[in-house]
Amino acid sequence: MNILVVENNRTKGKEIIQVLRKMDLNLENLYQVHTGSKGLEILKTYLIDLMLIDIDISIIGGLEVLGKMRTVSDYSEVPTIVISSRRDKKLFNAVTSSGLDYLHKPFSWRMLRQKILKFKNGDVAYVL
Amino acid sequence: MSYRREIYEAAEKTFEITCFLFPLEEEEVSSESQERLLLSNMQSVVEFSGAIDGMVIITPSKSLLSAMAGNMLAIDEPNEAEKEEALCEVANIISGNIAPIFSKEGDICYISPPQLLESREKLTKKIRDSLKETVRIFLDEGIADIEVHYQAQEKP
């Protein structure tokens, strides 16, 4: 399984990577970037099975990355878990109605693992 | 109307889940070590806007700041950059969770990226006419002050 983590906070990004490595997910490649534009580059270059993206990232915002993904067929169907601290029902509805999953900060590692396993086991069909 | 309970609960949950830091009674922290009460010079600010404009300022004690980054990364001696990022991450999460409580519909649409607060003077103008709530949370590795400044009335 190839996972891309787009998280602008370097400490949080490192922490997520450390924990993912311990989760027994049969990971092949784990990519970590801090900006939306770098995230798009990784999507263009590698086959990604799942993307975790903090939508509060700077430079290119997370929502903008998701918008650009829709326009490129090669990676428009990459399963995505959107992460945000925003307790905003409108945002939640917008994300989930687009077929993406949403993880609200602060989240437990158990919750993150459950969501990843749903994708890994193919329990969720995603179409952007 | 006071929002202290909501602010405390958001902070408590954030520190517990994100940094594995647990709430204590004030006496427990004070008796453990006075050093744990010394506030750091490092502060993070997050502005929010939408129905109501405001900002959240987080000031941890020196010992807490180190523990936040250390626990997140499972290391003993985090460097300054790791501490800064840990503080900003915690500020971002607390702000995202408490900003909506200041408007009737929970309709806060934008949370700015967290920043380190370099000069309080720059904020003076912005917070001059705002209301303020301050909450201190006592944790097993130190304390944190959470200040929330917000406008008295929602925008039309």
pLDDT tens per residue, range A10-66: 999 999 999 999 998 888 999 999 988 898 899 989 999 999 999 876 555 667 777
pLDDT value at B138 more than 70: yes
CA distances from A38 to A6, A7, A72, A116, B96 (A): 8, 11, 16, 22, 25
Whether residue B156 is contained in a domain is answered as: no
Domain parsing of chain A, residue ranges: 2-120
Structurally, how many domains does chain B consist of? 1
Whether residue B76 is contained in a domain is answered as: yes
State which H helix or E strand residue A30 sits in.
Answer: strand A29-33
ipTM of the complex: 0.81
* Parent domain of B48: 4-150
Separation of first and last alpha carbons in chain B? 20
pLDDT tens per residue, range A61-87: 667 777 777 777 677 788 999 999 988
CATH of the domain at B93: 3.40.1550.10
* B13 at A interface, C-beta within 8 A: yes
Q: Which CATH architecture has domain A2-120?
A: 3-Layer(aba) Sandwich (3.40)
Q: Give the best residue of B12, B20, B85 to mutate against chain A (max A CB count within 10 A).
A: B85
Whether residue B155 is contained in a domain is answered as: no
pLDDT tens per residue, range B51-95: 788 999 999 999 999 999 999 999 999 999 999 999 999 999 999
Whether residue B41 is contained in a domain is answered as: yes
> Is the link from the previous residue into A106 a cis peptide, with omega within 30 of 0?
yes
